Amino acid sequence: MADTEFIKKYGLIGFPLSHSFSPGWFNNFFLVNSLKGHLYELYPLTSLSLLPGIIQRNKNLLGLNVTIPYKESVIPYLDYITERASCVGAVNTLKIVRKEATTQLIGHNTDVDGFNYLLQAYLKSTQEFPRNGYESLDKAETDSTRLITIQEFLKANKSDDKNRTTIDTTGSSTSKSAIILGSGGASKAVKYSLFKHNIPFKIVSRKPVGHYEISYQDFEEMDPQSYCLIINTTPLGTKGDHETEKPMIDYNRLSPRHHLIDLVYNPAVTPFLKAGLATGATATNGKKMLIRQAEASWDFWNR
């Protein structure tokens, strides 16, 4: 089928994209659901300055997913951002609305949907955290797609530090905590989901900023009994340049009471998960999160 025959096009922007799962999943989804004339493509962008040209040249392009390294830096290119994405501070889904001679970009975050799926599956299997979170985040977030102009967003978020500290990460002194490894765009969706579930957490960063982030050295000094869930949001372990790497933590401190979640999905067992499993810890990769966020992206594009 020639490119001009595709009625509706979607895609993924980021860099690099050589090992992306998304085209295979979406194009199979189109096939299974008899969505003729639909196509999902990769748009590897070495610079976000190329994005307007991609949108202008591809008149049938209706939606994009956004991955590393553009989940935060894409925001100034938007016309509107959803309330949820505004709270998260990162965007992984763009809806392209074309009206006559105008084109508008609306940013949303469906990584939250994906991580909620993994988190709720874990919470059903453990007694480590009290049942005090939302029973249904879909129901609790009825306003999550309310639109905010990008001017409103930028005005309200002049200080990133001020925005971040509106979330209390500490919990009570007796609470079990979750640990987020990494402080990039992916970590923001995880942080938002944990907050919505009333789960206290700490963010471990190479360059900690403010009271809500700690260094890797600080993490190693924590009592391993004070946390039971560790989430890797860094690209370490991803197939390609990073596939032999893992976060530099002392895995010998882990035990069967710990659960590891890696947002990386390719390979299925990353060095991070492998090291955790060797200690008896349980582990989950990011494959189901990716599928759930893809489904949520499709819903948003067609809303």
Domains in the chain, please, with CATH?
3-110+290-301 (3.40.50.10860), 112-129+165-288 (3.40.50.720)
Nearest to 179 by CA among 229, 224, 119: 229
Contacts of residue 33, Cβ cutoff 8 Å, sequence gap at least 6: none
**What is the phi/psi pair of residue 213, to 5°?**
-120, 145
**DSSP letter string over 251-291?**
GGG--TT-EEEES--SSSS-HHHHHHHTTT-EEE-SHHHHH
Q: Please state whether beta strands 38-44 and 8-14 pair in parallel, antiparallel, or not at all (unpaired).
A: parallel
Per-residue pLDDT of the chain (303 residues; tens, 9 = 90+): 555 567 999 999 999 998 899 999 999 999 999 999 999 999 999 999 999 999 999 999 999 999 999 999 999 999 999 999 999 999 999 999 999 889 999 999 999 999 999 999 999 998 888 665 544 444 445 558 899 999 999 888 875 444 443 454 554 434 589 999 999 989 999 999 999 999 999 999 999 998 889 999 999 999 999 999 999 999 999 988 889 999 999 999 999 999 999 999 999 999 999 999 999 999 999 999 999 999 999 999 999
For residues 168 and 162, what is the distance between their CA atoms, to the nearest angstrom? Answer: 12
CB 107 within 8 A of CB 91: yes
Predicted TM-score of the model (pTM): 0.89
Query: Residue 197's CB: how many other CB atoms inside 10 A?
Result: 18
CB 54 within 8 A of CB 45: yes
Query: Residue 35's CB: how many other CB atoms inside 10 A?
Result: 14
